[in-house]
Amino acid sequence: MNLKPETLARIDEVIPHYATKRSATLPLLHLIQEDVGWISKEAIEWVAAKLELQPINVYEVVTFYPMFRQKPIGRRHIKVCRTLSCALMGGYKTCETFEKEFDTKRGEVSADGEVTVEFVECLASCGTAPVVMIDDELHENVDSAKAKHLCGQIKAEAAQRKT
């Protein structure tokens, strides 16, 4: 497991908050997903060893919650809302624009590893539909033009990081 030192520090800090070590399973998984982006088999076994559990106990938890990702994701996570209000206001078109711009399919990692586009359930901002969340940042009224603009920003950042 290649966790950042600050993640490891937070993990060690969070375990004593609970009466039994087992209870720290969820917070540990969240911390690891925040750091690495997904929960690998290696991560499951690492958490199990850390909390003195068997790997199956952690595996049960990981598969129970859909928000724990069992596959790697791109560097940026683009979540496009697909629920009614956004769908009526062109959420599908927005999602397609993101897919086209990064030449990827929803749910998959783009070829350059830069983004994962996902079509998700309600992001709770129906008044400003269609909405998109890029990592933890909410973008409102994202029509195709704004989607292209956002894609441009991400690409520019990626290009800058590479130089």
Partner 1 sequence: MIQPAKPDLVTVNIDGKEIAVPKGTNVIEAARQVGVDVPHYCYHPKLSVVGNCRMCLVEMGMPAVDPVSKAPIMDPVTGKQKINWIPRPQIGCATYASQGLHIRTQTPQIKDCREGVTEFLLINHPLDCPICDKAGECMLQEQSTGYGRGYSRFIENKNVKPKRTLLGPRVVLDDERCILCSRCIRFCKEVAKDDVLGFIDRGSYSTLTCYPGKALENNYSLNTVDICPVGALTSTDFRFKMRVWFLKQTNSIDTESSVGANTVVWSREGVIHRITPRRNDEVNDTWMADSGRLLYKAVAAENRLASKETLDALIASAADLLSDAEGAIAVVGSGRSSVEEQFLTRKLADAVKARVFLVARSGAGDGILISSDRNPNVRGALITGLIDKLPSERLDTLAGGIDSGEIKAVISVGEDLVAAGITPEQLGKISIVHLGTHASSTSDAAKVVVPTLTVFEKSGTFINQQFRLQKFAKAVPGKPGMHDDLDALSRLIAALGGASLPSDLHELWDVLTKELPALATTTYRTLPETGLLLDATPWSGLRFPEGETLHFKPTASGEGVKA
Residue found by looking up tokens 């993101």 in the block? 98
- Cite the beta strand spans of the chain per DSSP E: 76-81, 115-120, 132-134, 137-139
Query: Could you list the residues that contact partner 1 (CB under 8 A)?
Result: 41, 54-57, 59-60, 63-64
Of 21 and 155, the one with the shorter C-beta distance to partner 1 is: 21
Q: Could you tell me the smallest distance in angstroms from the CB atom of residue 24 to partner 1?
A: 18
Closer residue to partner 1 in complex, CB, 23/54: 54
Torsion on CA atoms 118, 122, 128, 131, rounded to nearest 10: -10
Closest CA to 77 of 156, 146, 2, 132: 132
Give the nearest distance from C-beta 124 to partner 1 in angstroms.
23
Q: Which is nearer to partner 1, 59 or 102 (CB)?
A: 59
> Please, what is the minimum distance in Å from the beta carbon of residue 59 to partner 1?
6
